[in-house]
Amino acid sequence: MPDKLVIRPEEDGKSLGEVLRKRGFSRRLRCRLKRTEGGMSRDGELIRTVDKVFEGEEIDLAPEEIPTLEASTDIPDVPVLYEDREVVVFDKPAGMPVHPSIKHQGDTLGNYFAKRYKGLPFRPVNRLDRCTSGCVIVAKSQFSAAALQGRFGKKYLAVCCGDPGETGKIDAPIARAEDSIITRCVREDGKEASTLFRRLRTGEKYSLCEVTPLTGRTHQIRVHFAHIGFPLAGDSLYGGSTEDIGRQALHCISVSFVSPDDDENHIISSPLPADMESLIP
């Protein structure tokens, strides 16, 4: 089935190419649509990117060929925090990967999505590490994925070892460690990375912080807190104590985005898991 792009009032009389560009379709994706036979059509007739479109028209776009994942029948249900015709936000539990891998086949969020939405390609907008819990946005079509890419906000709660202070900003470039394909480190030749944090509660051993990553580097929050001397509780990869929790104490508590379905801003939240809550009584 093709994806349908409904032309909005403010797009009336503009070229299809301009509409696609402003909706967030990358140059690569626009070129793919132009080169694909039947890639773009209106009322069954082919349409070019230079052609004008008008309010209320439905433009059919050939879906990008993304393999449909295996629908696992015995995978536990994942809570849905929000859903409309274009977007669904899941509350991913700790321990569940987002994508299948060699070690994880059939037990991922992608497999659950395939079970819930049979035949629909899996298009996660944001990604979380396997042991990080919380909000994951998944687009239901290629144009909603394009519209949301790089246009969403996210906040985390993290429990770190010790007390990092009331507020802070961590500016430290992140690179892949030379002896690992997984581990990241702070290094001068790394990519720019910035993280804001605000301490919410503190106890004898740990502090609960609200964290806003300003960039999106792999393991950014984990690496940055370890860099300033306050690794996340449970994060054995970066020096955190595993005495009281067996996974990194990191939770994506909220995401914010404008849904392509209703063009309204949404802020979706997830409650703090019990294993993290218990660390800060």
The DSSP line for 7-75 is: PPGGGTT-BHHHHHHHTT--HHHHHHHHHSTT-EEETTEE--TTSB--TT-EEEEPPP--PPPP--TTS
How far is the C-alpha of 60 from the C-alpha of 62, rounded, in Å? 7
**Nearby residues of 150 by Cβ (< 8 Å), 6 or more positions away:** 24
Give which of 143, 100, 149 is closest to 125, Cα–Cα.
149
Active-site residues, by number, are: 129
CATH architecture of 153-252: 2-Layer Sandwich (3.30)
Per-residue pLDDT of the chain (281 residues; tens, 9 = 90+): 457 888 989 999 999 989 988 887 878 778 878 777 778 888 878 888 889 999 988 888 877 666 666 666 778 899 999 999 999 999 999 999 998 777 777 789 999 999 999 888 899 999 999 999 999 999 998 878 888 888 899 999 999 999 999 999 999 999 999 888 889 999 999 999 999 999 999 999 999 999 999 999 999 999 999 999 999 999 999 999 999 999 999 999 999 999 988 889 999 999 999 999 999 98
Residue (of 234, 229, 239) closest to 278 by Cα position: 234
Q: Is the dihedral of CA 263, 20, 215, 104 positive or negative?
A: positive
Which of 24, 60, 33, 43 is closest to 258 using CA atoms?
A: 24
- pLDDT at 67 (0 to 100): 62
pTM here? 0.79
Rounded CA-CA distance 40/46 in Å is 6
Domain residues of the chain, as ranges?
3-61, 153-252
Q: Which CATH superfamily is domain 3-61 in?
A: RNA-binding S4 domain (3.10.290.10)
Adjacent-strand bridge partners of 207: 160, 202
pLDDT at 249: 98
Contact yes or no for 252/156 (Cβ under 8 A): yes
Residue 107 carries which side chain, given as an amino acid letter?
D
Q: How far apart are CA 189 and CA 191, in angstroms?
A: 7
Please report the pLDDT score of residue 1 as a whole number: 44
pLDDT for 68: 64
Alpha helices (H) in the chain, listed in sequence order:
16-22, 27-35, 109-116, 142-148, 220-227, 274-277
